[in-house]
Amino acid sequence: MEPLEIRITQDFICPWCWIGEKKLEEALALEGASEHVTYVFMPYELNPDMPPEGRDRKAYRTAKFGSWARSQAMDAHVTQEGRLHGLTFDYDLVKRTPNTLAAHRLVWFVQSEGGDARALVDAIFRAYFTQGSDIGNADVLVDIAASVGLDRGRVSDLLASQEGYAQVRKLEAAGALESVNVVPTIKLGSEIVSGAQPVPVFRRALRLASNVANRAVGTEAAAS
CATH fold of 4-223, please? Glutaredoxin (3.40.30)
Angle between helices 118-129 and 101-112 (to 10 degrees): 160
Q: What is the pLDDT of residue 221?
A: 44
Using an 8 Å Cβ cutoff, are 124 and 150 in contact?
Answer: no
Per-residue pLDDT of the chain (224 residues; tens, 9 = 90+): 678 999 999 999 999 999 999 999 999 999 999 999 999 999 999 999 999 999 999 999 999 999 999 999 999 999 999 999 999 999 999 999 999 999 999 999 999 999 999 999 999 999 999 999 999 999 999 999 999 999 999 999 999 999 999 999 999 999 999 889 999 999 999 899 999 999 999 999 999 998 865 655 444 544 45
Torsion of CA 16, 22, 28, 31, to 10 degrees: -90
CA distances from 105 to 19, 24, 101 (A): 22, 24, 6
Give residue 68's Cα distance to chain centre. 26
**In whole angstroms, what is the distance from residue 150 CA to residue 27 CA?**
28
DSSP string, 21-69: HHHHHHHHHHTT-GGGEEEEEEE--S-TT--TT-EEHHHHHHHHHS-HH
C-alpha distances in Å from residue 159, one per residue of 112, 155, 163: 15, 6, 8
Cross-sheet strand order for the sheet of 191-194: 37-43, 4-10, 185-188, 191-194
